[in-house]
Amino acid sequence: MIAIFFIFILVRTPSSFQPTKLISIGTVNQIEIPLPKPALKGSMSLEESLLKRRSIREFSNEPISLENLSQLLWAAQGMTSGSGGRTAPSAGGTYPLEIYVFVNRVENLATGIYHYESQKHSLVRLKEGDFKEQIYSAALSQSWVEDSAVVFVYSAVPKRTTERYGERGMQYIFIEVGHASQNLLLETVSLGLGAVPIGAFDDKQLNSLIGIDGENEKVVYINAVGRID
C-alpha cells in the first residue's frame, strides 16, 4: 500500500496573495506557497544598477522580505508573456533551467529547500529545516554561502535543449544561466541587497542535497544573496 503523507504548515502571508495549499508530487503532498506579485517598476535605473553591481561576500544577520525573494525569482526566471516567455532569453525557447532556493532568513517563510515554479510564480517546499551547514559544505566551505539569507541554486535539464541542438545545446545552457544570474544580480542591487555568483561547488554533493540525479538534471550555478550593512 502506498502511503500518502499530508503536511500542514501555518504561514503568515501578506493580504496581497492567497494562503499556502497542498499539491501532490508523486505520492507525497508538498506545500505550495504563492509569491507576491513582482513589481514592474523600480526606483533605480538599469544604468545605475550596472554601475553599482559588485560581488558582495559579507552579509548581515537580518532577513530579506518575501517580497524581495519574489522579485529576485521573477527577475531570474519569471514569466513575461502568456505564450511562455521569460525574463531571460533561452535558445529556441527550450527553457532548460530550474531554480532551487535554500531559505536561511526570509520573513514569513520557513527555513528549508524550495523549488521555484515559474509558470505559477510560486514556491514548492521540498524539505523543511536548516541546511546552512550542508550548502556550506557543498559550496566548498565558502563562508558567504552559509552567512547569506538565501542561496539560489540553478540546475539544468539538458535534454530540453540538446534534443534540438545536440551537443551544442550544453553551451547554450551555460549561456542562459549567465543571463538569468545577471538578471538576479542586477535586481539585487536595485533592492539594496548584496549578492555573489558562485561557480565553485561539489556537483555530486549539491545534486544529492536537492534530490536530482546529476544526469537528467544537474546543478550549474549558485547565487548567494543577503542584506548588507
Which pLDDT tens digit goes with each residue over 143-157? 999 999 999 999 999
Backbone torsions φ then ψ of 57, nearest 5 degrees: -120, 5
Domain count, the chain: 1
CATH of the domain at 39: 3.40.109.10
The answer to whether the beta carbons of residues 102 and 135 sit under 8 Å apart is yes
Which pLDDT tens digit goes with each residue over 21-79? 444 444 345 889 999 999 999 999 999 999 999 999 999 999 999 999 999 999 999 99
User: Is 68 inside a domain boundary?
Assistant: yes
The answer to whether the beta carbons of residues 72 and 225 sit under 8 Å apart is yes
**HSE value, Cβ hemisphere, 13 Å, CA-based, for 5:** 7
User: Is 26 inside a domain boundary?
Assistant: no
Segments forming the whole domain that contains residue 170: 35-226
Residue 29 has a pLDDT of 56
User: Is 28 inside a domain boundary?
Assistant: no
User: Is 1 inside a domain boundary?
Assistant: no
The CA radius of gyration of the chain, in Å to the nearest whole number, is: 17
| Mean of pLDDT values over 173-202 | 98
Torsion-angle region of 190 (φ positive above 0: left; ψ -120 to 50: alpha; else: beta)? alpha
N- to C-terminal Cα separation, the chain = 54
The answer to whether the beta carbons of residues 124 and 187 sit under 8 Å apart is no
Q: Could you tell me the pTM of the whole model?
A: 0.87
Task: Of 28-37, 80-89, 194-203, give the range with the top mean pLDDT.
Answer: 194-203
| CA dihedral of 11, 16, 17, 19, whole degrees rounded to 10 | 30
Comparing CA positions, the residue from 221, 186, 203 lying closest to residue 74 is: 186
| Mean of pLDDT values over 167-182 | 98
Give the C-alpha distances (Å, rounded to integers) separating 141 from 49, 59, 136, 196, 201: 29, 16, 5, 15, 9
User: Is 145 inside a domain boundary?
Assistant: yes
